[in-house]
Structure 1
Amino acid sequence: MNAKRVLLLLACLGLIVVGLARTLEFRRPDRPEGGLADLQALPERDDLNLIVVLIDTLRADRLSAYGYERPTSPILDAIAASGVRFENTLAQSTWTKTSMASMLTATYPVRNGITRFNHGVPDSATLPSEFLQRAGFRTVGIWRNGWVAPNFGFEQGFDVYVKPAPLGRNPELNPSASRLAGTDREVVDAATQFLRTNRDQRFYLYLHLMDVHQYVYDGSVEFGTTYSDIYDQSIRFVDATLGNLVAVLQQEGLMKKTVIAFVSDHGEAFLEHGDEGHARTLYDETTRVPFILALPFRLETPIVVETPVENVDLFPTLFDLLGLPPMPDADGVSLVPLIEAAAKGDEASVAATFAEPARFAELDQAWGRPSIEPVPLTLIHDGRYRLHNFRGAAPKLFDYEVDPGEQVDIGPEHPEIVTELRKKLRAHTTAEQVPWGGPEQVTVSEMEAAHLRALGYVVDPHAPPGKGELKR
């Protein structure tokens, strides 16, 4: 065996050892045991912190906790095994800026209008960080994706909103043609400094991780060498990074007084429908994302919510858990009633009370070309059916129950279902605009554009619809 193979084998074994060690460490008694009564008592507590970990470009079906056969996520698996996991969560877009604006305002893209390259969140909008800041939380955001940079309005309400400087110590591999300096370890390092100096005051910490988006990994070939394999290896690499964050929270005694949400803005395609990457379509591989909650106590039996939910529900749910007033003008709803019902084994009765079972996503396929008219692609997932509605092309209808991979268009055989779903989509897309007036028009500087190019985005005014993002 040559030296290179030995080094790769050692790296692989080292990652496995670290993952197992972190998993075992996570299972230490860092929090008390709890149950439904403790969940219902959370809003009365005045010591709770909030952490939101956004793992960019993470599809749910590549996590072991969601049934994936590969051991990609031992840390997240351990978190889900003692917390809450939502089985089927829909992102509101497959492009980061639109998805994040929707998640943070708890409103659909059709209402907030933030769908294009030069759109930003206006000052008139109120983000969760602002509500939490007013409630007395110290608010800190640490990010690496330029689409959530301050110039696009995402810094509102943060006492500190920073992109960490790369430390120049990164031997990791990245198969992307474009390289983003640093790794998510810099995010966790910055978070560690904050946690150790602010553990005695209430805080909201937002971490936006990018290594999965960039396919950063340690060089291991445990899962293979295709892009899809390396994507899995990157998830394993980031999972180990999350283990470092969990270890710090344990050391500082913060697990017992912190609610942590692990979420994503969109998934990633690997030729399931002829495309690679994201920000091009709205198929399940790019819209189904993880949603896992770690509570300030350990559940002996994890709570799994089977009812389909959406990313717009994230902050209404977190605010409800923290005992904060609801976000005004939100399309998302609190999922706490579903969580409680699932804990009792009676989820179906509560799910039936949801006023609107349909879920929605949207992508402007001309998002990178603000000089031309929008090319909207919209999705409605209503019960067992998913309808993709294209501008200038026939819609596509799929029976998600029998065809979750969305491979067989049954629209021609069921025009009545297409008509009904398009009617619901029209009602959705003509909904009243948010009261804060829609997007801010943003001019992107050359420095900011260079950062976006480092993420693999190429804004080409002559590219065909859906080809604004060119990766690899």
Structure 2
Amino acid sequence: IYTVALARASASPNFDLGALGRPWNAAAVALLPVWCSQLVVPADQRALKVLVLAASAMLAFVVARRTRANRPVGAPRRLASALGATAVVVASLVCTPRALLTSPPANAPVADGPNVVLVVLDTVRADHCSLYGYARETTPGLARFAADAQVFERAYSTSAVTLASHASLFTGLHALEHGAHSDELAPTGRPLATSHATLAELLAARGYDTAAFVANHGFLSPVYGLQRGFAHYDARPPRPELAPTPPWVLRRALRELAAPLAPRAWRERAYRGADEVLDATLAWLATTRERPYFAFVNLMDAHAPCVPPAPFDRRFASAPSVLSRDDLYSWRDAVNSGARELDPEVRDELVARYDGGIAFADAELERLWDALRASGELERTLIVITSDHGEAFGEHGQLFHNATVFEEEVGVPLVIRAPRDRVTAGIAARADARDDARADVDGDARADAQGGARAGASVGARATERTGVRERALASGVDLVPTVLDALGLEPRPGLSGRSLLRPPNAPLAVLVENRPIADVRRLAPERLPDQRALVRDEHAWIESFDGRSRLFDLARDPGQRDDLVAREPELARAFAAELADFRARLAQPTSASRRPAKEAGDARDARDALERLGYAR
């Protein structure tokens, strides 16, 4: 519309370029329309963006035309024009968009249920958390928090890619069902189809206040649709010049020119730290509200380039870090392509930085727990802490993530702390069973302990006796939505792939993991980075690659997945292959929860710059 309007106006015999020749007018006409549409309108409302673009373009053009072109231009006016043009350009470069705001559903009822807090520790693998027995004290705060919570010892993400795994957390669907992953038509990933209801949308429809505070401004950008349902969505980048405000080409060019002159800490900072994200979270939680809330917090401090502040930058390091951000990704490309093996000293430095990032996020999270205790909301809040995927350090020839479905990339922490009056009889029974095994009491006292919560539907009568539970049952990212719905007393939506983790499993469990590397990762060595899928059942993991190779591991005996059992256990291998094929065939059947268009390749250009900063694109 803008181009047609300018073309038509320029064709008029009365058209005068004199006014547009002034720097202020030219800058306003060129930059103001796009700038306004980007800043004023939420990213997911494209039709409204077009209208604002057209309206602001016409306004800028009319104002420019009304400027008297024949007025003499003296030095003061030239200076004013130059300053005006500069101001418009600078504003376009440094003005950071505010958090995305959307309207709550019309006539939403005031909900009656617990608050829900979901914390995703981006890139944190379970076996690097001291909560899970890791030698370094990376998560002492989480260990204290989990003392009266459920700790799942065998939890898996649905993918080693942030987009696909978060989409599963939000929808209760596997990647094969929700489709938010990369493919040939969408090399950096498809957005989540609007036909899939997100957890935030479900809770907002029930009257919940919803807010998200996100460090990963790449794959969690509104471009990918995961912001749907959040009335407040804060996915700002760490620095204004990284914001996806136009003109992005100019901003990027200036940033690249200035980068060599900037301090290293400025150049290396690719995302907001846990301190900044939690500052915003706590400020929002401090506001007075009449409704329960759903707060989603994404912390990225364990993600490369891993530059936690002091003292966490040296907590596990024997010497100051010398690897720059570019060094990290050069090593990643060399290792993942097979061109070079990971140097042991480099690995030690990477792991030290990674563990320091986990420890920093863990320490900052204690502020959230303290705030919930101080407000009295802790016992009225369902809290889930997990990760979207892990991180590899050369265990199977890969560095970082987005490459495989081995344990180091998909084994994640999972801690659930349910409100006292919402814990089901299943949890109470498991807690009592553990207490029975440990307590040295007489028979009458034991009978009293067994007679209460095991027969009840809630643990309300035991509200003063919270105890932690270690769960060996398999758990998956698709279990989050059913778990939250169960805590709210709601029936699961038809077609969800997961189960409620507040109840004991009623059937043998198997977990599916699938990974499709994004194009910029796959391009390094397509033959080394094929799509993969894994099925975990009992103590075994079955892995199939799209290049035709299959592997079978006994996780109880071989947690590092070094000893392939396919040749020695052919019958078990065939059984797993058939089970995985059947599992995927069932998921491929459309359901009310998994309907989606056959094609939906989104335009992710707005997120490309952020993905490059986070190492996903080159």
Cα deviation, residue 251, structure 1: 2.6
What aligned pairs does 1:8-27 form with structure 2 within 5 A after superposition? Answer: none
Aligned length: 396
TM-aligned CA distance change 1:423 to 1:452, over 3 Å: same
2-structure distance, mates of 1:165, 1:391: 36
1-structure distance, mates of 2:598, 2:488: 28
Q: Which moved more, 1:224-233 or 1:312-321?
A: 224-233
Q: Which moved more, 1:410-419 or 1:428-437?
A: 428-437
Identify, as 1 or 2, the structure richer in strand: 1
Q: Which moved more, 1:64-73 or 1:372-381?
A: 372-381
Cα deviation, residue 177, structure 1: 8.6
Rg comparison, structure with higher value: 2
Cα deviation, residue 396, structure 1: 1.2
Identify, as 1 or 2, the structure richer in helix: 2
Counterpart in the other structure of 1:160: 232
Counterpart in the other structure of 1:469: none
Q: Which moved more, 1:427-436 or 1:329-338?
A: 427-436
SS of equivalent residue, structure 1 residue 412: coil
Counterpart in the other structure of 2:558: 403
SS of equivalent residue, structure 1 residue 148: coil
Q: Which moved more, 1:317-326 or 1:121-130?
A: 317-326
Counterpart in the other structure of 1:33: none
TM-aligned CA distance change 1:52 to 1:412, over 3 Å: same
SS of equivalent residue, structure 1 residue 259: strand
**Any stretches of 5+ residues in structure 2 without a counterpart?**
1-110, 183-187, 241-262, 319-348, 421-463
Cα deviation, residue 59, structure 1: 0.8
Cα deviation, residue 178, structure 1: 5.5
1-structure distance, mates of 2:415, 2:168: 19
Cα deviation, residue 87, structure 1: 1.2
What aligned pairs does 1:28-107 form with structure 2 within 5 A after superposition? Answer: 46-107=112-173
What's the TM-score once normalised by structure 1's chain length? 0.78
Deviations along 1:348-375, one digit per CA (max 9) or x if unpaired, are xxx4x32x52211001135558999995
Kept in 1, the 8 Å contact 2:138–2:355? The answer is yes
Counterpart in the other structure of 1:218: 309
Counterpart in the other structure of 2:61: none
2-structure distance, mates of 1:267, 1:71: 18
TM-aligned CA distance change 1:175 to 1:390, over 3 Å: farther
Cα deviation, residue 332, structure 1: 0.4
Determine whether 1:230 maps to 2:353.
yes
Counterpart in the other structure of 2:203: 132
Cα deviation, residue 435, structure 1: 2.1
Deviations along 1:380-399, one digit per CA (max 9) or x if unpaired, are 11222211101224211111
Q: Which residue of 357, 361, 366 corresponds with 1:243?
A: 366
Counterpart in the other structure of 2:191: 120
Counterpart in the other structure of 1:449: 608
Deviations along 1:436-464, one digit per CA (max 9) or x if unpaired, are 3466311122x4211111111125xxxxx
Which amino acid is 1:243 matched to? E
Deviations along 1:330-355, one digit per CA (max 9) or x if unpaired, are 000112222xxxxxxxxxxxx4x32x
Deviations along 1:105-163, one digit per CA (max 9) or x if unpaired, are 11111222222023011111100111100111011111121112111111111111121
Q: Which residue of 507, 515, 519 corresponds with 1:363?
A: 515
2-structure distance, mates of 1:211, 1:357: 32
Cα deviation, residue 292, structure 1: 0.6
Which amino acid is 2:414 matched to? F
TM-aligned CA distance change 1:159 to 1:222, over 3 Å: closer
Counterpart in the other structure of 1:381: 536
Q: Which residue of 309, 329, 332 corresponds with 2:495?
A: 329
Kept in 1, the 8 Å contact 2:171–2:197? The answer is yes
TM-aligned CA distance change 1:205 to 1:156, over 3 Å: same
Cα deviation, residue 95, structure 1: 0.6
Counterpart in the other structure of 2:215: 144
Determine whether 1:293 maps to 2:359.
no
What's the TM-score once normalised by structure 2's chain length? 0.60
What aligned pairs does 1:245-394 form with structure 2 within 5 A after superposition? Answer: 245-297=368-420, 299-338=465-504, 351=505, 353-354=506-507, 356-365=508-517, 367-368=519-520, 375-394=530-549
SS of equivalent residue, structure 1 residue 120: coil
Cα deviation, residue 312, structure 1: 0.7
Kept in 1, the 8 Å contact 2:238–2:270? The answer is no
TM-aligned CA distance change 1:268 to 1:75, over 3 Å: same
SS of equivalent residue, structure 1 residue 208: strand
Kept in 2, the 8 Å contact 1:174–1:217? The answer is no
Which amino acid is 1:257 matched to? R
Kept in 2, the 8 Å contact 1:143–1:187? The answer is yes
Q: Which moved more, 1:391-400 or 1:210-219?
A: 210-219
Query: RMSD between aligned alpha carbons?
Result: 2.6
Kept in 1, the 8 Å contact 2:379–2:419? The answer is yes
TM-aligned CA distance change 1:454 to 1:153, over 3 Å: same
2-structure distance, mates of 1:110, 1:47: 32
2-structure distance, mates of 1:201, 1:153: 25
Kept in 2, the 8 Å contact 1:98–1:109? The answer is yes
Q: Which residue of 276, 283, 290 corresponds with 1:186?
A: 276
Kept in 2, the 8 Å contact 1:319–1:325? The answer is yes
Cα deviation, residue 73, structure 1: 1.0
1-structure distance, mates of 2:151, 2:383: 12
Which amino acid is 2:595 matched to? P
TM-aligned CA distance change 1:363 to 1:208, over 3 Å: same
Q: Which has the higher contact order (CA 8 A, sep 6+)?
A: 1
TM-aligned CA distance change 1:258 to 1:284, over 3 Å: same
1-structure distance, mates of 2:145, 2:411: 19
**Any stretches of 5+ residues in structure 1 without a counterpart?**
1-44, 339-350, 460-472
2-structure distance, mates of 1:51, 1:439: 33
Which amino acid is 1:290 matched to? P
2-structure distance, mates of 1:85, 1:152: 31
1-structure distance, mates of 2:384, 2:542: 29
Which amino acid is 1:454 matched to? R
1-structure distance, mates of 2:140, 2:384: 16
Which amino acid is 1:305 matched to? E
2-structure distance, mates of 1:176, 1:330: 43
